[in-house]
A and B are shown apart, each in its own frame.
Chain A
Amino acid sequence: MPEPSKKISKSPVHPLDDLLRTDRIPHIWCSGCGTGTAFSSCLTAIKASGLELDNVVMISGIGCSGRAAGYVKLDSYHTTHGRAIPFATGMKLANPKLNVIVFSGDGDLFAIGGNHFIHAARRNVDLTVICVNNLNYGMTGGQVAATTPFQAKTSTTTTGNPEAPFNLPLLAYASGATYIARWTILHTRDLTNSIIEALNKKGFSFIEVLSPCPVNYGRRNKEKSLDTLKLYQEKGIIKNNANPADTDIDFEKGIILGKFIDIERATCIENYDKTCRLV
């Protein structure tokens, strides 16, 4: 019998290793966290997109998913809390050849950075914004967020959240985003396909990824990691082209997933060139 090849058994190479700063692994994400799954979906999509990798940039804000920029082997910028989008806007406008991805969390993009999100969507800046939504502030230990469900428990709402959360696809739609999808980390293939579409689409693309945070959110709301994934499976309703007004997150009645919006609108740069470059 021939001996098994030592090369193969000794050091298996992960197909995404060339997109990873492997010298920075292990990562900081907790066991059961969904950010890594969303991140590897994103890397798979970048690879499959056929884009010239030198021109792909990842920009993050602050938080658990904000650390993604530190692990991707692309030009990557880990900016201040909430400001990934305006940083990305400056970069894209300064060099339109770049394909700019913003990978960050719900607290970063929609509480402290909410103003930037709506304005970048309004301008239709050609960015792909991926929001890992774990329904709370994970990095700081599980505080209430702008996405925390009504009555859910967090470390700053121990008796329940008295506030209503944002419906992110509706916010993106009202602000002018030209591509809007929502998946969970259980729907990795759909998620990957959406990211590929978004990367190859001109204009402001927004993808929300529901992701468990067992250590902070799950623990306080009696949801183990697997419970959250089961919830995604049982309560997820795939409904492409759904009206964004119907996509509020309600685990009782079901969570609508899918690609909701895919429309054409002139980008920020196209309109600037047409309107302001009169020479």
Chain B
Amino acid sequence: MKQAVLTGAHYLTGDEACAEGALAAGCRFFGGYPITPATEVAERISERLPEVGGTFIQMEDEIAAMASILGASCAGVKSMTATSGPGFSLMMENIGLGIVTETPCVVVNVQRAGPSTGLPTMGAQADMMQAKWGSHGDYEIIALAPSSPQEIFYQTITAFNLSETYRLPVLIMTDEIVGHMSEKVVIPDAKEIKTVSRITPKGKKDNFKPFKPGPNGIAPMPAAGDGYKVHFTGLTHDEKGYPVMTVEAQAMMMAQLMNKIRNNLDKIIMTERYRLDDAEIAIISYGVSSRTSLAAVDEARQMGIRAGLLRLITVWPFPDDQIRRLANQVKGFITVEINLGQIHYEVQRCAGYRVPAYLVGHPGGTIISPDEVIKVLKEAF
């Protein structure tokens, strides 16, 4: 068997680095369906998985791909799929099944411009609200936004660790630009990579409750074949997993699904601050647009404007508190993202209209240039 962790320096695209990150995290099942610009994740991992004892299958559509990774995860195997806008739309119902059955898995969305078929080969960041609200009903989700091939490698590992810790599908919301760019990716020694696996139950197998939270707020999860005779359903259920069609059962289940995330925001939310300490203007950005923003901050500083950047590594759950605190410090916010206002409105909500919040957006198909950020910066402040 070949190595799962390709220690060393490589020249990889974001998509390829994502596949390598998955393998390093312990992913051993991938159910996919080709779609530009995410296809290369599947291509890379289709070659690599059988080398390390895993299984790749190209399913008949994205609905099936999503269903297959849930099935694989319920068999105890870390699993992933990768897609782009149209496929992400098709996966939504089964992402909901993953949420309600608390089944860990990782879903990668290499975003392209939409709506509909849109610009298949050209990037955007316009599925950010779909990531939060795309499946029906109320829920909390975790979504990460890598900005480089190196980062997508690490964030894919983090995504698996979060999904295994909190028992839910975790989304990697990257974009065509990061997915298709080639950069140096350093893969560390396997011993230096921290991986997390779900807590499995020990002890009595009779009348086991697969949805009863343990001391850490998360229920231990047995795999099919472990002898616990579990029942998982998309229906509202009790701790035993049995359907219960009552208002009370709905409230209890929803509290568990929401609170396991809301009670752990400090552990889940990751951001990066750049020249923010004395900033008068806070730029909020994520993914490829945070690279634009980084350049814009330096340029603004050279012009004597005290700008700083808060880069969102975790986009969902949203860092409400950090933005609220910044609202007491800065004169205003600028959100930079390749859409016509998605995270921008979250920033505005958290700023509470105490200070103005502006959008540097784009309908999609290309990156935003630092000049566009500078222009808004000068006009607004």
Contacts and interface: CB of A to CB of B under 8 A. Distances in A.
Which of B67, B228, B229 has the largest number of chain A CB atoms within 10 A? B67
B79 A79 contact: no
B330 interface: no
A25 to B, nearest CB: 12
Interface residues of B, number: 48
A190 B74 CA distance: 33
A111 interface: no
A99 to B, nearest CB: 10
Contact of B231 (A70, A83, A88): A70
Contacts of A85: 64
A91 B79 CA distance: 11
A75 B2 contact: no
Contacts of A86: 31, 59-60, 63-65, 67-68, 71
Nearest to A98: B225
A94 B55 contact: yes
Given A91-B74, A93-B29, A119 B234 contact: no
A57 B31 contact: no
Given A76-B230, A80-B93, A277-B50, A119 B60 contact: yes
Contacts of A74: 229
Interface string B54-79: 01110111011101111111111101
Nearest to A123: B57
Interface in A8-55: 21, 23-24, 54-55
Contacts of A276: 50, 56
Contacts of A59: 71
Contacts of A279: 1-2, 50-51
B166 to A, nearest CB: 20
A141 interface: no
B268 interface: no
Given A24-B242, A55-B225, A75-B224, A93 B60 contact: no
Nearest to B229: A73
B214 to A, nearest CB: 20
Interface string A53-83: 0110101001000000110011111111011
A90 B225 contact: no
Contact of A94 (B72, B97, B229): B72
B232 interface: yes
A89 B59 CA distance: 9
B141 to A, nearest CB: 17
A150 interface: no
Given A54-B225, A276-B50, A89 B57 contact: yes
A158 interface: no
B253 interface: no
B109 interface: no
B94 interface: yes
Contact of A90 (B51, B75, B228, B234): B75
A7 interface: no
Which of A54, A88, A95 has the largest number of chain B CB atoms within 10 A? A95
Interface in A137-154: none
Contact of B60 (A54, A91, A115): A115
B134 to A, nearest CB: 15
A116 interface: yes
B50 A75 contact: no
B243 interface: yes
Contacts of B31: 86, 89-90
Which of A57, A78, A115 has the largest number of chain B CB atoms within 10 A? A78
A78 B74 contact: no
A59 B31 CA distance: 18
B88 to A, nearest CB: 16
Nearest to A54: B227
B226 interface: yes
Nearest to B210: A75
Given A86-B71, A279-B1, A69 B231 contact: yes
B75 A95 contact: yes
A88 B64 CA distance: 10
B328 interface: no
Interface string B16-32: 00000000000011010
B70 to A, nearest CB: 6
A92 B77 CA distance: 11
A251 interface: no
Contacts of B94: 80, 83
Contacts of B70: 79, 87, 90
B223 interface: yes
Contacts of B226: 54, 75
Interface in B200-236: 223-235
B68 A89 contact: yes
A75 B230 contact: yes
Interface string B74-89: 1111010000000000
Contacts of B50: 272, 276-279
B229 A75 contact: yes
Given A78-B232, A80-B96, 7 more contacts: A21-B231, A62-B234, A75-B224, A79-B70, A80-B67, A82-B63, A87-B74
5 contacts: A69-B233, A77-B232, A78-B235, A95-B223, A276-B56
Interface of B: 1-2, 28-29, 31, 50-51, 55-57, 59-61, 63-65, 67-77, 79, 93-94, 96-97, 101, 223-235, 242-243
**Closest 8 A/B residue pairs (Cβ):** A90-B71, A90-B68, A94-B72, A86-B64, A91-B71, A86-B67, A78-B233, A87-B71
